[in-house]
Structure 1
């Protein structure tokens, strides 16, 4: 499991990449990836290397959305495999996030 973050050259986008299992063990690393970032910027969560996510990961995504501005937040989940998309769909996350 690893969580990395990278700001775009223009500073307008933060990309958080999660590899391996996205569960409670990633909580501190995931929160640390965004909590000091400015609100209102675009956030992309790259799940292309994510093999598993659980309910605590869903909660962490909701906390990220709240931090980023709630309903006005520009948060996109990208690179989701079929299993991850199934979990996000069952959880109605497509109504809260852009999923690509």
Structure 2
């Protein structure tokens, strides 16, 4: 269970990868990874190694979207398994985020 974050070389994209269960235990690491930015144009949340997510993870993604809207940035949720994607679709996140 880890959250890793990196900024692309051009500084335009912040990539946040969540490994394992995405829930309250990742809250601080996820938010801390975003607070260092001066405002990339795009956030990519890599869910390819995410096993599960709960309502606190959904709330955290909504918080990220709010921050991105203020910055004029896009948020992309990438690599979700079929189970995770199903949860995102049930929550109608495809209306708020780009799902890749």
TM-score in same-fold range (> 0.5): yes
Q: CA RMSD in A?
A: 1.4
Kept in 2: contact 1:21–1:52 (CA 8 A): yes
Gaps of 5+ in 2: none
Kept in 2: contact 1:39–1:67 (CA 8 A): no
Partner residue, 1:94 = 94
Partner residue, 1:29 = 29
TM-score using structure 2 length: 0.94
Kept in 1: contact 2:11–2:40 (CA 8 A): no
- Give the whole-Å Cα distance in 2 for the aligned partners of 1:27 and 1:11: 24
TM-score using structure 1 length: 0.94
- Give the whole-Å Cα distance in 2 for the aligned partners of 1:92 and 1:44: 18
- Give the whole-Å Cα distance in 2 for the aligned partners of 1:99 and 1:62: 14
Kept in 2: contact 1:35–1:67 (CA 8 A): no
Q: Secondary structure at the match of 2:67?
A: helix
Gaps of 5+ in 1: none
Q: Secondary structure at the match of 1:67?
A: helix
Q: Secondary structure at the match of 1:80?
A: coil
Most deviating of 15-24 and 32-41: 32-41
- Give the whole-Å Cα distance in 2 for the aligned partners of 1:65 and 1:38: 16
Cα separation, partners in 2 of 1:37 and 1:63, compared to 1, 3 Å: same
Partner residue, 1:11 = 11
Partner residue, 1:53 = 53
